[in-house]
Chains A and B, each alone.
Chain A
Amino acid sequence: MMRVPVGLRRLHALLRKEFMLLLRDPRMRFFVVIPPIIQLVIFGFAATYDVRFAAIGLVDHADTVQTRDLRAAITGTTHYRLERYTAMAAAEQAMAVGEIRGIVVFPPDFVRQPRIQIVVDGSDSNSAQVILGQLARTLQQAAAREPPRISLAFRNWFNPNLEDRWYFVPGVMATVVLIATVSLTAMGVVRERELGTLERLMVTPLGRLEFVAGKLLPVAAIGLFDVALILVIAIFGFDIPFRGSFLALFVGTSLYLLSALGIGLLISSYVGTQQQAMLLVFFAIMPLVILSGFAFPIANMPEPVQWATWLNPLRYYLVIVRDAFLKGSGLLDYGFEFLMMGVLGLVSMGLSMLRVR
């Protein structure tokens, strides 16, 4: 008979238990499948900086043929509906209460001195910029009577129509996997501590590494499953191109999971109850997501904060995921990202192993 190493036999017993508990728990099955899909739908359809429809106030003191043409150009974009006001004060009032998001003003002497004032609602700074840019461009093009001497042709590489969805959905993959695996790891270890089963495990000859492997491998499997699920939905449901290498994504995901599980394990070493674990996971995830480049570019952050993001595994994984979808680079392009995630994972796991006895 073949001799199986005793350590493997112990690990097998632990893994079998983990998977049985995981698959039998309806809440767990829900937790693994539903939140990723909900997040995808939210970010795929709802969360976008694109301004697709907005009401704009119009104060036309001139009211000439030229201004009529310009008004037609604005409505012609199909993104804006114009609300006419006779006095500037009334328009300002409408913007203050949120009925309109910008005001276009044509002064009375427009024919003699063609100047246009555009006012936008800066309380929503992203939309304000988008609206301002689009209105300015539209009006400038419509006002140019003769062809300009320099003609600029724009082309956006990798995302030709600048669809926010192309930018966000790959990011959702990274954040969803982070949330799922960090909380599952932290909760899984803490639950055993709460139930007293951890103590029971610790009086068996089970080694610390065997225990950690037994707890983490099932969570890693869930993480990979979530990545695959989101990948399929992104490619076939949202028509986002996948131009990169699956191998690079797989290696990147594995190292990312290593660091995410390390964070979860570290959290579990600081708390005694599942409630505390959940709170700490929440506090850890928020800054990780915000300071990752998921929504706000790292290059725009103050320099000390930029340095802090070096400790954030999500930052590296986002690069890999976005490139995998939109740019199409290969395995060899990510040596640095792989290294950083691997180091972060090993350090956080090492720290938590030192903390637990």
Chain B
Amino acid sequence: MAEAARESGQAPVITATDLFRRFGDFVAVDHIHVTVAPGEVFGLLGANGAGKTTTIRMLCGLLPPSGGAIELAGVDMVRHPRRARARLGYVTQHFALYGELSVRENLEMQAGLYGLPPGRARERIGWALAHLSLSRLAGEKARSLPLGYRRRLDLAAALLHEPRILFLDEPTSGVDPLARQQFWELIYELAEAGIAILVTTHYMDEATYCDRLALMHAGRIIAEGSPDDLLARPLPTPLLEVRGEGCAACSRWLAGWPEVLEIIPHAGYLRLRLQPGTDPAALAARLREEAVRRGQRVDAAEPVPPDLEDVFVTLLEEDSAS
């Protein structure tokens, strides 16, 4: 859908140009460019301290940039922050509503803060309660909701004024997998309705749900593209997957092999990242021979295509080296 939006030539609703922020001598965000089209889900990835939250705070108008320009839905955020804020919704990393107020009271307050007339407010609150499956809990105190539902309430509160842009700062951290799945379904629905969504996340599986990704490191965007684009990049470090009962024992002697850069243990299998230039097939054959010699059972040892995490690890290493 985002591809369609961009191909149809829709102008981006989030445009950040040459965005820059320093805290004293520390450069938190180093001249980055971000554009998000209507209906696009844009993921911002990176470790803690990479500059994701600083970026999102500048885009929301919570932090004035040291340099650069931000335009949200045609409004200059730096010059007219209050007008721009009326067009965006923001879900913070931690629950940021009032635990002692009920679900409905929280939504009523939020509607009032956006200046919705009473009739319109009632209508939108009704929509949000129904759409996010909160109707049954409308009278409950927000404090007593399970975490997944609290995140929904956060989202509901950010949607009452029908923003054209939604910022989600790690919206699913700490939420159980099923609730995360449901939350992403909601995000897709909103994107389909034409809202531009910028989301930050730690979870790699969530990264693959995004239409487009940007990887941040030390304040810069070091790679950007759709998940498929990023996966298609040729990786200098070949990957090998080793399966079998004996593979936990294998990792002990594999650690001594010079060709093996890193051993990533998973449940029931190992992933090996190999030094650049290694022939994975030849190494797999040597590995199987060695396992047989030691009497350890290995069912398979095969070269595998990289996943997003492999790509990011490589990109970060390249960036740190340069």
Q: Is A204 an interface residue (CB 8 A)?
A: yes
Residues of chain B within 8 A of A24, CB atoms compared: 100
Number of interface residues of A (CB under 8 A): 26
How far is A14 from B62 in the complex, measured between Cα atoms in Å? 19
Q: Is B92 an interface residue (CB 8 A)?
A: yes
Q: Is A81 an interface residue (CB 8 A)?
A: no
How far is A9 from B82 in the complex, measured between Cα atoms in Å? 16
Q: How many A-B residue pairs have CB under 8 A?
A: 73
Residues of chain A within 8 A of B108, CB atoms compared: 13, 16
Name the residue in A199, A202, A204 with the highest tally of chain B Cβ atoms < 10 Å from its Cβ.
A204
Check if A202 sits within 8 Å of B62, measured CB to CB. Answer: yes
Check if A10 sits within 8 Å of B85, measured CB to CB. Answer: no
CB of B62, distance to nearest CB on chain A (Å): 6
Check if A13 sits within 8 Å of B109, measured CB to CB. Answer: yes
Interface residues of B in 93-151 (CB under 8 A from A): 94-98, 100-101, 105, 108-117
Check if B100 sits within 8 Å of A21, measured CB to CB. Answer: yes
How far is A201 from B60 in the complex, measured between Cα atoms in Å? 12
Check if A205 sits within 8 Å of B114, measured CB to CB. Answer: yes
Of A16, A25, A203, which is within 8 A of B112 by CB? A16
Number of interface residues of B (CB under 8 A): 28
Check if A6 sits within 8 Å of B101, measured CB to CB. Answer: no
Residues of chain B within 8 A of A4, CB atoms compared: 117
Interface residues of A in 4-22 (CB under 8 A from B): 4, 6-7, 9-10, 12-14, 16-17, 20-21
Instruction: Describe A's contact surface by its main secondary structure.
Output: helix
Interface residues of A in 173-192 (CB under 8 A from B): none
Q: Is A145 an interface residue (CB 8 A)?
A: no
Given known contacts A21-B100, A21-B101, A203 and B60 CB-to-CB distance under 8 angstroms: yes
Check if B100 sits within 8 Å of A200, measured CB to CB. Answer: no
Check if A25 sits within 8 Å of B114, measured CB to CB. Answer: no
Q: Is B20 an interface residue (CB 8 A)?
A: no
Residues of chain B within 8 A of A20, CB atoms compared: 100-101, 105
Of A6, A14, A205, which is within 8 A of B85 by CB? A205
How far is A203 from B168 in the complex, measured between Cα atoms in Å? 13
Q: Is B86 an interface residue (CB 8 A)?
A: yes
Q: Is B88 an interface residue (CB 8 A)?
A: yes
Proximity string of chain A (15-58) to chain B, C-beta cutoff 8 Å, 1 when within and 0 when not: 01100110011000000000000000000000000000000000
Name the residue in B88, B113, B114, B117 with the highest tally of chain A Cβ atoms < 10 Å from its Cβ.
B113
Check if A203 sits within 8 Å of B98, measured CB to CB. Answer: no
Q: Is A272 an interface residue (CB 8 A)?
A: no
Check if B112 sits within 8 Å of A205, measured CB to CB. Answer: no
Given known contacts A16-B109, A203-B60, A196 and B98 CB-to-CB distance under 8 angstroms: no
CB of A192, distance to nearest CB on chain B (Å): 9
Q: Is B61 an interface residue (CB 8 A)?
A: yes
CB closest residue in chain B, given A9: B115
How far is A24 from B85 in the complex, measured between Cα atoms in Å? 31
Of B60, B62, B112, which is within 8 A of A10 by CB? B112
CB of B14, distance to nearest CB on chain A (Å): 14
Q: Is B312 an interface residue (CB 8 A)?
A: no
How far is A16 from B109 in the complex, measured between Cα atoms in Å? 8
Check if B109 sits within 8 Å of A200, measured CB to CB. Answer: no
Of A12, A17, A200, which is within 8 A of B92 by CB? A200
Residues of chain A within 8 A of B100, CB atoms compared: 20-21, 24-25
CB of B152, distance to nearest CB on chain A (Å): 15
How far is A195 from B100 in the complex, measured between Cα atoms in Å? 12
CB of B140, distance to nearest CB on chain A (Å): 14
CB of A191, distance to nearest CB on chain B (Å): 11
CB of B103, distance to nearest CB on chain A (Å): 14
Please name 26 pairs of A and B residues whose Cβ atoms are closer than 8 Å in the assembled complex, sorted by A.
A7-B115, A10-B112, A12-B112, A13-B111, A14-B113, A16-B109, A17-B109, A24-B100, A25-B100, A196-B92, A196-B94, A196-B96, A197-B98, A199-B92, A200-B90, A202-B62, A203-B62, A203-B85, A203-B90, A204-B85, A204-B110, A204-B113, A205-B83, A205-B86, A205-B113, A205-B114
- Which B residues contact A (CB, under 8 angstroms)? 60-62, 82-83, 85-86, 88, 90, 92, 94-98, 100-101, 105, 108-117
- Which A residues contact B (CB, under 8 angstroms)? 4, 6-7, 9-10, 12-14, 16-17, 20-21, 24-25, 195-197, 199-207
